Amino acid sequence: MKQKYEKIFQEFTFSSGVKVKNRIMVAPMTHYSSEESGEVSERELAYYKERSGGVGTFITACAYVIKGGKGFPGQFSIDDDKFLPGLKKLAQSIQSNGTKAIIQIYHGGRQSPAQLLPDQQPVSASAVAAEREGAIVPREMTEDEIKQTIQAFGDATRRAIDAGFDGVEIHGANTYLLQQFFSPHSNRREDQWGGSLENRMKFPMAIVDSVKQAVREHAKTPFIVGYRISPEEGSNPGIQLEDTLQFVDKLADQGLDYLHVSVNHFWNGSFREEDKTESRIIKIHEKIGDRTPVVGVGSLHTPDEVVEALETGVPFIALGRELLMEPKWMDKVQAGQEDQIRKTLSRQAQEELVIPDPLWDRLVNVKGWLPVED
């Protein structure tokens, strides 16, 4: 390995006490490959195992904590103890080569397709449809449903512990339910859960409390709790960077192990306020990095690009598409073979890359997501 890449392979110990062997995480990526019942499938177990070993930490695709929060076909569930056998296999498939396994827990809210839900009716903070063609108007959640959902995240955390995962990541990003409560677009409530910025923080903060309580009650060994956030949204009115800086300031006092910032490009500034050109990840790191480690992500493809990002002081980088095209990305960097890292997706490479059919079909047919070559 070249000396300049040593920063990538430095160990890190989280505040919970969990030690990871390097600074690379696999970003959570939807794969559409679980059983229709919500069970973990054999094909996805193989997909996860192929990409484990080299990376320090693997964050799974999101698992729904309650049936009314399912967001994708082929998504696995963590809403019932009957799923524990498959979840245990999933944790073990990731951990078999020394990688830490984190399961992302989530509720889709108004983004959940009606046809996937028991009552065909998405719910959200308020009865406001997303700003996209054909979006369904969700039903506003009742007080009881809010409390049930908060409890469901705690129950999901207990199942993650029982299944042997090393941690959970609370999915508060990408326009799903937790973000919907924080957003002034989707949250028009006039009770304690809406209105002011402070009130719009209450639901995600209650989720954090529920998850931490489950860890205190059930974890017998150190257990990671992370949180993923989107710093802005395009809706109007929508989340602005200043809102997020106030929110992360509060999150940083909750004893989380990390805050994962979801953006398309590590170096990009605000897309809502063009005069704010500094990287949003770096701004968040400057705000809270002395209290909570920040995970950066976004269009960092080569080890040189990853090192450049780490040199800002941001301690972790999550890679997604890079590990789809090159499962052995870390191994090749460590072996001094970084020139052999695949940067395109060959249409003939599905079997070699161990990618399940539902995910493969999307990768080769959705233009612009991956550089596909014949």
Residues 6+ apart with CB under 8 A from 111: 71, 122, 130, 175, 176
Positions annotated as catalytic residues are 176
Beta strands in 55-94 (DSSP E): 57-64
In order, the DSSP letters of 84-139 are HHHHHHHHHHHHTTT-EEEEEEE--GGGS-GGGSTTS--EESSS---SSTTPPPPE
106, 109, 228, 242 from 178: Cα distances, Å: 8, 8, 10, 18
Contact 62, 30 (CB under 8 A): yes
CA pseudo-torsion sign 297, 12, 204, 115: positive
Give me the residues paired with residue 224 across strands. Answer: 167
**Helices marked H in 183-320:** 197-200, 202-218, 241-251, 280-288, 303-310
Residues 6+ apart with CB under 8 A from 141: 123, 124, 125, 149
Contact 329, 344 (CB under 8 A): no
Q: How many Å apart are CA 173 and CA 67, to the nearest integer?
A: 19
